[in-house]
Amino acid sequence: MRRTWIAVSVVLAVAVGVPAASAQETPELDAVVARAAAELTDAYLGSLHDMMGILASTADLQVGIWGGMQPLLERFESLPVSFNVWFLLPNGSYYKVASGLASANLSDRGYFPKVMAGEATSGDLVVSRSTGRKSMVMTVPIKRSGEVIGALGATVYLDDFSALILDALEIPEGIGLYARTAEGQIALHANADLLLEAADLSGLDEAASSSATAEFLGWVFVVGPTL
């Protein structure tokens, strides 16, 4: 298994610009993989947020009528990242692609006043009210004639996203990877029960680990031996 880890590291070293020879030493190998995890996260989630901004500028969304935008958002939701997309109204009610008008209201969420004031948001960690799943939320305002008429939101499921990143990197037994937010919450981990918990529960030997920071969300990715 360790040979597989070394082989993956060589590929990653080329991909992220680190000399392959340095990947033979464990601490440097861990640093390569931490950076690769951060860059993969930026690629997936940064691109998703960029696409939301493009969609929010289309006539289909700026009309502000759910029936007119639902087919376009259904196609958007078919991307490889596991997420739900929704249309948020200024009163806090919202529509989801699969189920239409939701019974919950989002006006008390931290991102709500920001996006309704015209500010795009990303990185809010929540427990979804419609699914009960631990998630990360991104929103983009939808404007018509300079006025915010609603917002496009995406709920990224942290357990599925963790699996996506970990599967891509093929983390071997005895080595762990997790990501923490600036507030010290676990945002990515192989153990879904630890998501949204305090970072000191990660189960990694932090003193022997390496880390890298993702630019888009500011999450810190840590790779190292498990305790």
Q: How far, in Å, are 71, 146, 214 from residue 66 at the CA level?
A: 9, 20, 34
Inter-residue contact 172 to 3 (CB < 8 Å): no
How many percent of the chain have pLDDT more than 90? 80
Give the domain range for residue 72.
1-173
Does 206 reside within a domain? no
Hey, is 125 helix, strand or coil? strand
Q: Say how far apart CA 109 and CA 92 lie, in whole Å.
A: 9
**pLDDT tens readout for residues 48-70:** 999 999 999 999 999 999 999 99
Domain count, the chain: 1
pLDDT at 172: 81
Query: Could you tell me if residue 194 is inside a domain?
Result: no
Domain for residue 143, yes or no?
yes
CATH number of the domain where residue 31 is located: 3.30.450.20
DSSP H helix total and E strand total for the chain: 7, 10
Examine residue 212 and state whether it is found in any structural domain, yes or no.
no
The pTM assigned to this predicted structure is 0.86
Q: Residue 221: helix, strand or coil by DSSP?
A: strand
Q: Is 138 helix (H, G, I), strand (E, B) or coil?
A: strand
Whether 24 has a pLDDT exceeding 60, the answer reads no
> Collapsing DSSP states into helix, strand and coil, what is residue 73?
helix
Q: What percent of the chain has pLDDT over 70?
A: 89
Residue 201 located in a structural domain: no
